[in-house]
Structure 1
Amino acid sequence: MVAPGAPGTKPKSFGPSLKRLFNRLAPERLALLIIVGLAVISVVLTTLGPNILGHATNIIFDGVVGKDLPGNTKEEAIQQLRASGDNTVADMLGNMDVTPGVGIDFGAVGRVLLLVLVIYVVASVFQWLQGYLLNITIQRTVKRLRSDVEDKLHRLPLSYFDGAARGDVLSRVTNDVDNVSQSLQQTISQMMMSVLSVLGILIMMLWISPVLSLIAILTVPAAIIVTAEIAKRSKPHFADQWKHTGLLNAQVEEAFTGHELVKAFGRSAEVEEAFDKRNEELFQSSFRAQFISGMIMPAIMFLGNLNYVLVAVVGGLRVASGQLSLGEVQAFIQYSRSFTQPLTQIGAMVNLLQSGVASAERIFEILDADEQRPDPDPEERPNVDRGRVEFESVSFRYEKDTPLIERLSLVAEPGQVIAIVGPTGAGKTTLVNLIMRFYELDSGCITLDGVDISKMSRDHLRSRIGMVLQDTWLFGGTIKENIAYGNPMASEKDILAAAQAAYVDRFAHSLPDGYDTVIDEEGGGVSAGEKQLITIARAFLAKPSILILDEATSSVDTRTESLVQHATAALRSDRTSFVIAHRLSTIRDADLIVVMEHGQIVEQGTHDRLLTSRGAYYRLYNSQFVGAAADA
C-alpha cells in the first residue's frame, strides 16, 4: 500500500492531463481491449469461486445433518421434527438438500473442489496473460514517449536550455518518465482489477442476500471516514519527513562535496553535529508520520472484524430460519472480507496515479515547448567554400527588455584570425553563438561566403565550423573514440594525424593502453590541459573552414598553455578563426582584434594599433599587465 498522506507533487490539471496521458495509449487499442477482456474473465471466475465453495460446505453440512434425521424423505423428517416441537431445525431443513440416513457425499465434494481448483487455475492464467500483455503495452507506450522526448530535445532551441536548470531537464527525461511508467504499470492493472472485483463481489453479495449486503456496505463509509481522518493527521508529518529528508541529503552532499575543505579547516566536529541534528529531526518526523499512518490498517481491520461479527450473527439467524444455507453464509463472509480490500487499493492507486500524472505534466511541458525555427526548404549553399563571414547590422537580445547587441557590423575575411575581447557580459560568446545559429537574430543578417546562414540548413552550416570551448566535453569511451567524434568517417590514420597535430601523442603513449585508454564522462585519468588537447584534435579531424576558440587556454597551466597555443595556431592556419580570449597575451598576433562593450564593437584593429590609440583595449591590457604590478 502507498502510505496515505505521502507527499507527491500534485498535478496542476489532473483531468486533462490524465486524458492526454491515456491518449498516449491510443496505438494500443486492440491490446487494451484484449487486456480488459482477460481481466473481466479473470475477475468473474475468481468471484464465482467462493459461491461454488459454498456448495461444498452445503454438501458436507447436509450430510452431517441428514445422517441422523428420522424418516425416509426430507418431508417426513420435517413433519416428525415439527411434531416433536423442534420447529427451528425443521425450518432450517427447508432450505437444505438432505436425505435422511445418508451421510456426506465425498464424491460430490471432490467434484466441487476440483471445479473450484480448475476455476482458480484458469483465472490465474487469464490474470497472468492480462499482466503480461499490459506490461508489453505500457513499456511500448513509454518507449514511444521517451523517444518523443529525446527527439523533442534535439528540436528545442538553445534558449530553452538557458532558461531551464540542467538537473531539472535531466530529471524530467529520466525520473519523470520512469515514474510515469511505474504509475501506469501499477495503477491501470490494479485499479481495473479492483473496480471489477468490487462490482463482481457486490453483485454476488446482493444475489446471495440483500440484507447482509446492506450490513457489509454500511462499514465502507465508516472505513473511508476513518482513513481520511487519520490520513489528514498524518499528512503534515509526512511533509515534515520529506522536508527533513531533503535537508539531510543536502547537508550530506554539501559535506562530502567539500570533504577536503572540511578536513583542511578542522570543521569535522561541526559537520557531525549538524548531521546529528538533522538526523534527529528526521527520526522524530518519520516516527510520528509512520506511527499515525500505521493506525489505518488496525482501524480498518477492527471495522472489518465488526462487520464480520454482524454478518455472522445475522447470517446465522437466517440459516436457522431457513432463509439461507450455511454455504451461502460462508460464501457471503468470504465476499464481505474481500470487499474492502479492492476499495483500499483504489484509494492507494489514486494517490500513485496523481504522482504519475504530475510527472506526465512535466514531460508534456517539454513536448509543448516552442521549437527552433525549421530549416529552409530548399536550402541554399555557398558556391565556393572560402570561410568569409560578414555581420550586417545584426541586433539580438536574450530578453526583449534587455538590449545586448544592436546593429553590429563586422567582416572576417578568409584565413583571418579575429580575436574578440571585452569584459564579462559584453556579448563575445553571444557573437559566436549567432554564427552557429544557436539563436535566431532579431534583425540584420550573417552571411557565410555570401549566403545568409538563415537560408542554410543547420547541419550544413555547423559541418563547416569547428569549436573548441573553455569547458571541455568528453564522453565515456577511449581517447581515440573521443577524437573521432569530430568526424565519424575518419580513418585511423587521420585520427592519429590529428592527435599528433594537437600534441595528444605526447601524453597518449605514456598511458597504459595508449589511444585505447578509456576515460569517463568527466575526463577522469587525464588532466584539464590534456582534455583540452583532445578537443583540439577533435576539431582538427573535422577540418572546418571556420574555427571558433572560446577561451581554450583559460584553465590550464603555463606549460600546457604553450602546447595548446601551438596546437591552436596550427589549427587556425588556412581557415577563418574567431578567438574569444581574456588573456590578451594569447591574441597579440591576431589579424584583427575586436573590442566589445555592452554588445557594441567599440574598437577594432591590430594589437599595436589599439595600444597606440589608448582606448578600451589599452585599458584592458593595462588592467592585466600594468595594474597588477602597480598594486603589488
Structure 2
Amino acid sequence: MQTHKDIQENKKSGREVMRRILACIKPHRMLVVLSLLLSVITVVLTLYIPILTGHGVDKIVGKENVDFSGLVSIITTILLCITVTAVCQWFMNHINNKITYRVVKDLRIRAFSHLQVLPLSYVDSHSSGDLISRVITDIDQFSDGLLLGFTQLFTSVITILGTILFMLSINPYITLVVVVLSPLSFLIANFISRRTFTMFKMQSEARGELTGFTNEMLGGIKVVQAFDHQAEAQERFKEINDRLSGYSLRATFFSSITNPATRFMYSAIYAGVAIAGCFAVIGGMLSVGQLSSFLSYTNQYTKPFNDITGVITEFQNSLASAARVFELIDRPSIPEDKDDAVQLTDPEGHVTMQDVSFSYVRDVPLIEHLNLDARPGQRIAIVGPTGCGKTTLINLLMRFYETGSGAIKIDGTDIRDITTHSLRAAYGMVLQETWLKAASIRDNISYGKPDATEEEIVRAAREAHAHSFIMRMPDAYDTVIAEGGSNLSQGQKQLLCIARVMLCLPPMLILDEATSSIDTMTEVRIQRAFEKMMRGRTSFVVAHRLSTIKSADMILVMDKGHIIEQGSHEELLKKGGFYARLYNSQFAPV
C-alpha cells in the first residue's frame, strides 16, 4: 500500500523526469513550433466544419424550404476544409515522428556513450542484461510514449480550447454546463495516474532483471546443461516472470480504469447537453442546426479527454522507462583528466606502487599497504591463490579502478596526473577472457592500430602463430568472426588477441593468464613469441601455471592482498616458503 510520502516522492520524481524530457526536446523547438501551428490549423478547420454542418441543417429544415445553392456552397467549403485538414495532419504526423526519433536517437547515443565512460565498479555491479534493457527496451518504451504525446496531446489540448470557444459563440449557458462538469474527469484520471507510475516503474525494473537473467543463462547454456540445472534456471525464470506479470497486470488494471471512468463522465455530459439543448430549441434560444453543431462540439470536446487519459496512461510507462535511462546517464563517469595532465610519451617503463591500499567493498580490505618497484625492461610475474588480488593489481595499474590510498607512478609521474588515453595506450594487455568483435579477422587484429598495413597485420599473426589457422579459414583474413567468436575455438580466439597486441607492441605489457586456453605445443611457440615481445619492455605476467614464469626477473607472491614473497624463481625455491610449496604442488610426482 502506498503511503502519502511515497506518492509525493513519485510526483517529485515524475516532475524531474518530465523536466529532463523537455530539455531533450528543446534542441528541436522549431519543429515543435511548426507542429503546434499545424495542429492549430487542423483543429480550427475541424471545429469549423460543425458550424458549416449546422448552417446546412438550417437550410433544409422546413417543408419545401431547401436552399440548394447555399447547400452546394456549404458542401464545397466542407470538402475544402477536409482536404486542407488531411494535408496538415500528414505534415504534422511527419514532423512529430521526426521530433520523436531524433530525441530518441540522441538519448540512445548519450546512454551508449556514457556506458563507455562508466567506472568498472558500476558495470561489474550490474548485470549486462539490465544495462542492455535500459539502452534498448526502456528507450523504445519512452519512444512510444513520447510519440503518442506529440501526436495526440497537442491536438487534444488545442481541440478542447477551440471547442470551448466555438461553443461559447453558440450558447454560453450550455457551454457552462460542459465546462463545470469536465474537471471531474481530470480528477479521476489524475487520481489513477499517480498510482500507475509506481507500477510501471516496477514493471520496467522487473523487465530489466528478466532480460539480465535470460542473457546470463543463454551465455552459459552449456554449463547449465552440463550441471543439469535446467529445472533451477526455469524456476528462477518463472519467479522473475511471475513478478513481472504481477506488476504488468496491476499497472494495466490501474491504467484501464481511467478510460471507462472518464467515458462515463463524458456520456453524462453529452446527455446533459442534449437535454438542455432540446429545451433551448423549444424556447427559441437555439435553432435545430445550432443544436446539431453544439452536440457535435460536445462529442468533439469529450473525445480529447479520452485521448488525453490514454496518453497519460502510456506516458506513465514512458516516464518510468525514461527515469531508468536518466538514472544510467546520471551515474558518475570515470574522473576526467586533470587540466594539467601530461601525455605519456615514450615511457621507459619504471613502475612503482607506494603504500597502495584498495578494496571493492567498504570495510572489506583486499590490498593493503602494497609496495612495488618494477624497473624498466623487467619481467614481473604475479602468482598466488585465487582471490589474492592479482587481477585487482592489474586493474589498478591500468587505472580501471582508483586506489583507495597510496600512489602508482610511471617514470616518477603519478598515473592520476597522466591522461587516461596515453596511460592505457602505453600498455598492451592480453587477458584470460577473450573479446573479439563481430567483424573480419583483419579488423580484430588491427583493433588497436586501425592504420596498420597488410604486411604488419600478417607479421603480427605469424609471430602469434595464428597465421596458419587464419589461412585455413574460408576467407582467410577477410573471414567475419561471429558475435562472441562462436565460429572459433577458445584457443584460436586467444591467438587473435595475442596477435592484436603483437601488432601494437606498446612499451609495457600485461599478460593475465594469456596462454590458459592454448594447448601445450602451441604454448611453447607462444612463449617464444612472448620472449621476443617482452624483450626490453616492462612486463607484468599473471600466471597459475608456474612453469611459464621461470624466466621472470622478479616473482611477486601475493596472498590476501599482500606481497608475502618476492625474488627470482631460484631464490624463492631456496627459501622453501609459500612459492616453493605452490611450485612443488604442481610438479610433485603423483
User: How many angstroms does 1:552 deviate by?
Assistant: 1.5
Does the CA-based 8 Å contact 1:11-1:355 persist in structure 2?
A: no
Q: Give CA-to-partner distance per residue, 1:194-248, whole Å, 9 cap, x none.
A: 1111122233234323454455557656767887999999999999999999999
Three-state SS of the structure 2 residue aligned to 1:603 is strand
Deviates more, 1:152-161 or 1:235-244: 235-244
Q: How many residues align?
A: 582
Match of residue 101 from structure 2: 139
Aligned Cα RMSD in Å?
4.1
Q: 1:500 aligns with which of 455, 459, 462?
A: 462
CA distance in 1, matches of 2:230, 2:415: 57
Whether contact under 8 Å (1:483, 1:535) holds in the other structure is yes
Q: 1:519 is paired with a residue of what secondary structure?
A: coil
What is the deviation of 1:327?
Answer: 0.9
Report what 2:156 is aligned to.
194
Which letter does structure 2 place at the counterpart of 1:487? K
Residue number in structure 2 paired with 1:467: 429
- Taking the TM superposition and a 5 Å limit, the aligned residue runs for 1:207-606 are 207-213=169-175, 216=178, 220=182, 308-380=270-342, 385-606=347-568
Contact 2:130 2:212 in 1 (8 A): no
Going from structure 1 to structure 2, the CA distance change for 1:320 and 1:155 (only over 3 Å counts) comes to same
Q: Structure 1 residues 370 and 31, CA, compared in 2 at 3 Å: closer, same or farther? A: same
**Distance apart, 1:557 and its partner CA:** 4.2
Shift of 1:622: 4.0
Deviation at 1:304, TM superposition (A): 5.3
Gaps of 5+ in 1: 1-8, 68-102
Of 311-320 and 18-27, deviating more is: 311-320
Closer, same or farther in 2 for the Cα pair 1:563/1:167, shift >3 Å? farther
- The code of the aligned residue for 1:119 comes to C
Look at both structures and tell me which one has the larger radius of gyration over its CA atoms: 1
Q: Distance in 1 between matches of 2:166 and 2:269?
A: 17
Tell me the alpha carbon deviations over residues 8-65 of structure 1, each in whole angstroms, 9 at most, x when there is no partner: x96761112212321233333333333323322322221221122111111111xx43
Which stretch of structure 1 is more off in the superposition, 37-46 or 137-146? 137-146
- The alpha-carbon deviation at position 273 of structure 1 amounts to 11
Q: Residues of 1 paired with 2:31 and 2:296: CA distance?
A: 33
Question: Does structure 2 retain, via aligned residues, the 8 Å contact 1:595–1:601?
Answer: yes
**Secondary structure of residue in 2 paired with 1:518:** coil
Q: 1:247/1:132 Cα in 2 relative to 1: closer, same or farther (>3 Å)? A: closer
Post-superposition shift, 1:261? 7.8
Counterpart contact for 1:382–1:451, Cα < 8 Å: no
Q: Say if 2:145 is the partner of 1:183.
A: yes
> CA separation of 1:144/1:393 partners in 2, compared to 1, >3 Å: closer, same or farther?
same
Which residue number corresponds to residue 25 of structure 2? 25
Identity %: 41
3-state SS of 2:386 partner: coil
* Aligned residue in 2 for 1:55: 55
In 2 relative to 1, CA 566–186 (structure 1 residues): closer, same or farther, beyond 3 Å? Answer: farther
Q: Distance in 2 between matches of 1:252 and 1:155?
A: 26
Per the alignment, in what secondary structure is the counterpart of residue 485 of structure 2? Answer: coil
Which position in structure 2 is the counterpart of 1:43? 43
Q: Normalized against structure 2, the TM-score is what?
A: 0.84
CA separation of 1:265 and 1:20: change in aligned 2, threshold 3 A: closer
**What TM-score do you get using the length of structure 1 for normalisation?**
0.79
Q: CA deviation at 1:185?
A: 2.2
User: Hey, what's the Cα distance between the residues in 2 that align with 1:520 and 1:236?
Assistant: 40
Distance of aligned partners of 1:316 and 1:595 in 2 relative to their CA distance in 1, 3 Å threshold:
same
Contact 2:138 2:204 in 1 (8 A): no
2:195 & 2:334 partners in 1: Cα distance? 49
What SS does the corresponding residue of 2:484 show, helix, strand or coil? coil
Aligned match of 1:77: none
- When structure 1 is superposed on structure 2, of 162-171 and 506-515 the one drifting more is 162-171
1:126 aligns with 2:126: no
